[in-house]
Structure 1
Amino acid sequence: MPHIRPVSDLRNHFAEISKIVHEAQEPVFLTKNGHGDMVVMSIEQYENMQYNNEIFAKLQEAEIEANNSDIRYSHDEVFKQLRQRLRKEEKR
């Protein structure tokens, strides 16, 4: 269940809101005059969200490219290329 609080709680109950975002690892939605205004979350939550967004964007890009090409690679081919790249990087 989402945590919804008035924006004034950010000032008046900061420690409680901080505890929620860090211990429950959930964002707190702040309202102003009864309408959504802001979301407060921990840095860890934010970084995780950014990471997931980046992965999603890369998967979308890969899907678009796959739809525009008939070239397909097997699992073995992909990992062989990755191993070769890693070896080259290790030599540098």
Structure 2
Amino acid sequence: MNIRPSAAIRQNYNEIADMCRKTEEPVFLTKNGEGDLVVMDIETYNRREKMLKLREELLGAQEDRIAGRIGCTLDELDVYLDEIISEV
């Protein structure tokens, strides 16, 4: 976990940006010793958003299945998941 004081973003922007890109992890910024902001590179952010969306969709599908609602065939699901994974 990368933690830096909030002043570091002004003083060391390029260093923090490089760290985010290389580690593909967020950097946590503190203000007065308390958590304040999280910074990450745009590719990591987009990948996390896509994974979150996929998890939400899978949860919805699971809830539909449990409730007995009609879903899709395994082949349709396989194609759909391949498309989603290729986007990530």
Q: TM-score, normalised by structure 2?
A: 0.78
Matched, 1:50 2:46: no
Q: Please tell me whether Structure 1 or Structure 2 has the larger radius of gyration of its CA atoms.
A: 1
| Corresponding residue SS for 1:39 | strand
For the aligned residue pairs, the C-alpha RMSD in angstroms reads: 2.5
Shift of 1:79: 2.3
Identity over the aligned pairs, expressed in percent?
33
Structure with greater contact order relative to length (CA < 8 Å, sep ≥ 6): 2
Shift of 1:78: 3.8
Deviations 1:1-49 (A, max 9, x none): x000000000011111011001121110000111100000000010011
Q: TM-score, normalised by structure 1?
A: 0.75
- The equivalent of 1:79 in structure 2 is 75
| Corresponding residue SS for 1:26 | coil
Superposition map of 1:12-51 within 5 A: 12-51=11-50
Q: Runs of 5+ in structure 2 lacking a partner? A: 80-88
Q: Return the alpha-carbon distance in structure 2 between the equivalents of residues 71 and 10 of structure 1.
A: 50
- The equivalent of 2:86 in structure 1 is none
| Corresponding residue SS for 2:38 | strand
